[in-house]
Amino acid sequence: MTQKINHSIYQLIVSVLFSVLLVIPFIFSFFQTENNPSSKNENREKAPFPVFDWKHLDRFPQQFNDFYDDHFSLRPAGIKFYNQFNYFFLKQSPDASKGILGKDNWMFQGKDLDHYRGLVRLTAEQQTKLKNELQQRANFLHERNCKFLLVIIPTKKEIYTEFVPPEFFKYSEFNATDQIIQLAKEVNYLDVIDLKPLLIKSKSIYPEVYHRYDHHWNDYGAYVAYDTIISYIQQQTKTTKKHLINEFTEEIKESNDGSVAKMLGVDDKVSFYRYYLTPKFKLKTTLLGEKYKCPERFPYPWAWERRYQNEDQSLPKLFMVNDSFGEYMYPNLAEHFSNSLFLFDNWEYNLHSQKVIEEQPDFFVISAYESFIPNILENLQREENNVNVSNH
């Protein structure tokens, strides 16, 4: 009799504990005020509570499951534990599609692995379309006495191949970027700068040219790009003398703000040294306010536009379309132009024909991360690329 009572009490305790475990997450979620810390890594909104609809009952279970998964308050802790267990104990990436762990504590972006490995190629049709688009833009700019320059920024994996894990070997040394370089060189009135060989060479000159835990280049890598672009400009027209590397002061600061580390969810546990270059000279430019409205489709409106005006208004004008890599070059490039307009245009690399007519630049530069250049093909029909706009 006593054993039966004890067994019943045991069953009751287990049932109560199980029920409490189910309810606790919802209680925590109700009082929780902070955002889900995993959202910065997943880059999406939480699933809302589903609307119960008798006509679509088949959808409700999955929708409720998605809602429960996202609002389960222990989920962020579980994700963080999973990420850090993989990183620190298994010494592997928790998600190779977001980032991979290389040798000597280097991290690499995962989403462009197929591009790096030579598995991504442009079809013959895509090559023709891209070449025709570049030629139309080149003709449009040439008619307005504007030089057209395409600057190709390599992925970190292309520069630090020796630190990429051997399982991510290249199937071919020839990839979509090589196709783009080949076809771009056949476009009239277009000049191309491939920064890959220059950055590889610079590895033996500077401590690092890309951040260890971030997919971007650092100030040294950006300086190589700046030096190369201004050397090209000086061959085309008269401008101010470019600044040498000894005209900058090097600063080294410890940081855990690495894009790949964030994507892998370990940024709060790791740190690396960032190299900063601060000019010793006085800047001759003034940062102006924004002139053009940011498209709603761009998720970072604060980074959309930068405009600079130089004290020396006799210098040529620059219009550069770029991505986040270009931001590292803004102040230094602007020193060599009377007026500079930089647009971070949602990785679309549009022509912005109407803006070209308004700004009347002497140089139009597209500075593009190599694996994103094919994005041009996805935006051919945008108004920004209409070469038949009127001059008014």
178 and 225 Cβ atoms separated by less than 8 Å? no
195/373 Cα distance (integer angstroms): 14
Two structure tokens written together for 227:
């030096």
Under the banding of pLDDT at 50, 70 and 90, the label for residue 388 is confident
* Confidence (pLDDT) at 2: 61
In this structure, which amino acid lies at residue 187? V
Mean pLDDT value of segment 87-95: 73
* Confidence (pLDDT) at 153: 98
Mean pLDDT value of segment 94-119: 91
Percent of the chain with pLDDT over 90: 66
pLDDT > 70? residue 386: yes
Q: Which of 313, 309, 284, 307 has its CA nearest to residue 355? A: 307
* Confidence (pLDDT) at 96: 82
DSSP E strand stretches across the chain? 99-101, 107-109, 147-153, 190-194, 248-255, 272-279, 285-288, 305-310, 317-322, 339-344, 363-369
Q: Per-residue pLDDT tens for 60-75?
A: 677 766 666 665 555 6
Q: Per-residue pLDDT tens for 21-49?
A: 555 555 544 444 444 444 455 555 667 76
Task: Provide the phi-psi class of 145: left if phi over 0, else alpha when psi is between -120 and 50, else beta.
Answer: left
Q: Per-residue pLDDT tens for 132-174?
A: 999 999 999 999 999 999 999 999 999 999 999 999 999 999 9
Low-confidence winner among 53-57, 197-201, 331-335 (lowest mean pLDDT): 53-57
* Confidence (pLDDT) at 86: 72
Task: Give SS3 for 211.
Answer: coil
Distance from the first to the final alpha carbon of the chain? 98
For residues 43, 48, 54, 55, the Cα torsion angle rounded to the nearest 10 degrees is -30
DSSP 203: T
Task: Provide the phi-psi class of 360: left if phi over 0, else alpha when psi is between -120 and 50, else beta.
Answer: left
pLDDT > 70? residue 385: yes
* Confidence (pLDDT) at 13: 76
CA angle 308–156–173, rounded 5-degree value:
125
**What backbone torsions phi and psi does residue 161 show, to the nearest 5 degrees?**
-60, -35
Task: Give SS3 for 309.
Answer: strand
pLDDT > 90? residue 294: yes
320/341 Cα distance (integer angstroms): 6
Q: Which of 191, 252, 199 has its CA nearest to residue 227? A: 199
Side-chain half-sphere of 217: how many Cα atoms within 13 Å? 30
Q: Which residues contact 67 (CB under 8 A, 6 or more apart)?
A: 47, 48, 49, 50
Q: Please provide the DSSP assignment of 156-175 as one string.
A: HHHHSGGGS-GGG--S-S--
Under the banding of pLDDT at 50, 70 and 90, the label for residue 391 is low
Q: Per-residue pLDDT tens for 229-287?
A: 999 999 999 888 999 999 999 999 999 889 998 888 888 888 889 999 999 999 999 99
Mean pLDDT value of segment 375-385: 92
For the chain, the average pLDDT equals 87
